[in-house]
Structure 1
Amino acid sequence: MRPSVVLRCLLASALLSLALPSFAAAASAKPGKAAAAQAPDRRIALTVDDLPWVQLPAVTTESIIDDHRRLIAAIRKAGVPLTGFVNEGKLEDQGALQPARLAMLRDWLDAGADLGNHSYSHADLHTVGLAAYEHDILRGERQLRPLLQARGQTPHWFRHPYLRAGRSAEDKAALARFLEQHGYRIAPVTVDNADWIWAAAYLRAGEPHPGSRYRGKPHTEGIKTRLRRDYIKYMGRKLDYYERQSQALLGYNLPQIWLIHANALNADTYGELIAMARKRGYRFIGLDEAMRDPAYQRADAYTGPAGPSWLHRWAIGEKKPAGFFAGEPEVPEWVLNLARLDSE
């Protein structure tokens, strides 16, 4: 080989050796970028029903005020957007407004929450009929509207109690017109769950219960610790399930809307719920932002007796087969047993 040829080969070899790390870096970067591009859009809006407290008015304000304060403290600490839905009937005791309960709603506002209308009495549309239901909605803003107006706000979200939204297309359309006339939008739920069953079990944790391995009075704190731990796992499985459902139905993960309730269990696990969702890659957003996703313009075709996730309502409207709905996490039998329930 002539010297000039050798020199050119050596130079080419040197240039190639310099270029290889760049090629390798580019090659290794591409899969990561592709994976990032394909990662689900994990945004979620948190909503809390049955304010100021689930058990009101059946219990005294004094009996739940410490739990309420604990939940408000957790909300402040977490600092994520939140919309709470009010049942004004819970503000009263035998028809008389309780100032301490109205103050509980101010605590939510002071903690940064938005407040929406959940009707006065938590009425069931399928039971009371449309006319009575509409009356109950208006009765549910007598305190809420001036409370918000004092802060330069107006109530603009409505959530159906029991998530029962109408037994006919005609009732749904009539209710939609009524809500629009009064400045309300329906707040759907995509991450539906049975936190209320876990909460009932949590309240009963100190009681003997059928089928328990315990004899006599159970060890309350031990059961509560287990309930909190398993509840967080259950909620995580719910988030995963509805993410898969959204991908399967829509082709992407829409901004989810998560429902929980104002109860003692969530007071004691609120921070852990937020941390669990964040660990899964979720970013918390307001309900207004979530509802800007075009999926929420889809019609709710469901007219059955239950109150399923809007993802399932849309799937029912598309006549998805039964297998589409399979695999939803269920409440464990031991929790149902402790809550004194036979099924969800």
Structure 2
Amino acid sequence: MRSGLLRCGALALLCIAGFAQAAEPDRRIALTIDDLPWQRLGERAEPELDAQHAQLIAALKQTGVPVVGFVNEGKLEVNGQVQPARVQMLRDWLGTGFELGNHTFSHVSMHAVPLEQYEQDILRGEVILRPLLAENGQTLRWFRHPYLQAGRSPEARAELAAFLQRHNYRIAPVTVDNAEWIWAFAYDQVRDTETDPVAREKRLRQLRRGYVPYMLNKLDYYEQRSQELLGRLPAQVWLMHANALNADTVEELVAATRRRGYRFITLEAAMEDPAYLRPEGYNGGAGISWVQRWAMAEKMPKTFYQGEPVVPGWVMKLAGQESE
């Protein structure tokens, strides 16, 4: 009798363990890096650019994560002249095995110019990129909206989608959005202005220690909202930028993400998730996550959007930003 009870208990535990395993979501995420060859290139002096670029490339290679980087070709020029050293930065990405996509020539807002002008900026953004990819046996296929501004109406989105399709592009959405750029601006501000080496490193370390948990909190937030909306966890797409902050932290961030159970997959694999066929319901001017756009199409209540992590005030102040 006792052995029979023990067997039943063991079976129950196995059933419970099996159920828990079955209930565990399939955490998959694709990493994308915007504003190549470098964020804010041309807006500020960056004496450590070569070293920081090399560090970011090496760190990403070390992680073994597939990456699509999105290029603003305008940053390849100085006074209208293409700079071979900046084109080489793109070759470095390709040489590491990463893919490149179009982020428009000038990082123009879709909502700031007529659609025809916006489309011409997309075409200007592929003059160097297409042959560069061809040299590496690749074709240009990905497009990412600057500021994630994708159109104020279904008609505008449809018209742009038709243009992109004619030019063999696929839109690269973002589900895990964040204000990483504000942390990066604060990081650059300290690097640019703090002359005391001890104080400089102390503040940079403080930013690094705050940044990684912030990004993980954002990841958790969109995981929870995705499951609430869809009843499951879709393949996510993460947005980051090419900057000094990520050069110094991306290995730690990737490792921490893996500890949360995530597998890093290609952008192409992420786009196979049927969630990306869902309609968008957002017609505003801001750039927001596709999870939120899908939620608006479903007319989710305002409470759905609450609780999103925000950038701490001290980081906002360092970055010189009043709002996200």
TM-score, normalised relative to structure 2 = 0.96
Equivalent residue letter for 1:72: I
- The reply to whether residue 86 of structure 1 matches residue 76 of structure 2 is no
- The reply to whether residue 274 of structure 1 matches residue 254 of structure 2 is yes
Q: 1:149 aligns with which of 122, 128, 134?
A: 134
Deviations 1:296-342 (A, max 9, x none): 00122211010000000111111111111000000000100111112
Tell me the SS of whatever aligns to 2:229.
helix
Check conservation: 2:72, 2:104, Cα contact below 8 A. Answer: yes
Between the aligned partners of 1:86 and 1:206, the Cα distance in structure 2 is: 24
Between the aligned partners of 1:232 and 1:265, the Cα distance in structure 2 is: 10
Q: 1:289 aligns with which of 269, 276, 289?
A: 269
Equivalent residue letter for 1:199: A
1:153, distance to aligned residue in structure 2 (A): 1.0
Between the aligned partners of 1:190 and 1:265, the Cα distance in structure 2 is: 21
Check conservation: 1:119, 1:136, Cα contact below 8 A. Answer: yes
Counterpart in the other structure of 1:41: 26
Check conservation: 2:25, 2:233, Cα contact below 8 A. Answer: yes
Between the aligned partners of 1:111 and 1:21, the Cα distance in structure 2 is: 56
- The reply to whether residue 199 of structure 1 matches residue 184 of structure 2 is yes
Structure 1 206/146 Cα, relative in aligned 2: closer, same or farther at 3 Å? closer
Tell me the SS of whatever aligns to 1:49.
strand
- 1:203-282 equivalent positions in 2, closer than 5 A: 203-205=188-190, 219-282=199-262
Counterpart in the other structure of 2:54: 69
1:207, distance to aligned residue in structure 2 (A): 6.8
In the alignment, structure 1 segments of 5+ residues that lack a partner are: 1-12, 210-215
Between the aligned partners of 1:173 and 1:333, the Cα distance in structure 2 is: 38
Counterpart in the other structure of 1:299: 279
Larger displacement relative to structure 2 (260-269 or 165-174):
165-174
Between the aligned partners of 1:249 and 1:24, the Cα distance in structure 2 is: 36
Identity %: 56
Counterpart in the other structure of 1:7: none
1:55, distance to aligned residue in structure 2 (A): 1.7
Counterpart in the other structure of 1:317: 297
Between the aligned partners of 2:270 and 2:55, the Cα distance in structure 1 is: 27
Q: 1:160 aligns with which of 120, 145, 153?
A: 145
Tell me the SS of whatever aligns to 2:68.
strand
Check conservation: 1:45, 1:284, Cα contact below 8 A. Answer: yes
Structure 1 158/152 Cα, relative in aligned 2: closer, same or farther at 3 Å? same
- The reply to whether residue 107 of structure 1 matches residue 92 of structure 2 is yes
1:59, distance to aligned residue in structure 2 (A): 4.4
Structure 1 289/170 Cα, relative in aligned 2: closer, same or farther at 3 Å? same
Counterpart in the other structure of 1:189: 174
- The reply to whether residue 31 of structure 1 matches residue 16 of structure 2 is yes
Between the aligned partners of 1:89 and 1:79, the Cα distance in structure 2 is: 29
Check conservation: 1:117, 1:158, Cα contact below 8 A. Answer: yes
Larger displacement relative to structure 2 (216-225 or 41-50):
216-225
The structure with the larger Rg is 1
Between the aligned partners of 2:106 and 2:181, the Cα distance in structure 1 is: 18
Equivalent residue letter for 1:225: R
Counterpart in the other structure of 2:41: 56
Runs of 4+ in 1 over 2 A off after TM superposition: 19-25, 57-63, 206-209
Equivalent residue letter for 1:85: F
Between the aligned partners of 1:85 and 1:33, the Cα distance in structure 2 is: 41
Tell me the SS of whatever aligns to 2:320.
coil
TM-score, normalised relative to structure 1 = 0.90
Between the aligned partners of 1:284 and 1:304, the Cα distance in structure 2 is: 31
Counterpart in the other structure of 2:162: 177
1:156, distance to aligned residue in structure 2 (A): 0.5
Check conservation: 2:236, 2:270, Cα contact below 8 A. Answer: yes
Q: CA RMSD in A?
A: 1.7
Tell me the SS of whatever aligns to 1:230.
helix
Between the aligned partners of 1:207 and 1:52, the Cα distance in structure 2 is: 20
Q: What is the count of residue pairs matched by the alignment?
A: 323
Equivalent residue letter for 2:18: K
Deviations 1:35-81 (A, max 9, x none): 11011110000000000001213346754111101101101111111
Larger displacement relative to structure 2 (299-308 or 57-66):
57-66
Between the aligned partners of 2:278 and 2:191, the Cα distance in structure 1 is: 45
Structure 1 268/277 Cα, relative in aligned 2: closer, same or farther at 3 Å? same
Equivalent residue letter for 1:280: R
Tell me the SS of whatever aligns to 1:288.
helix
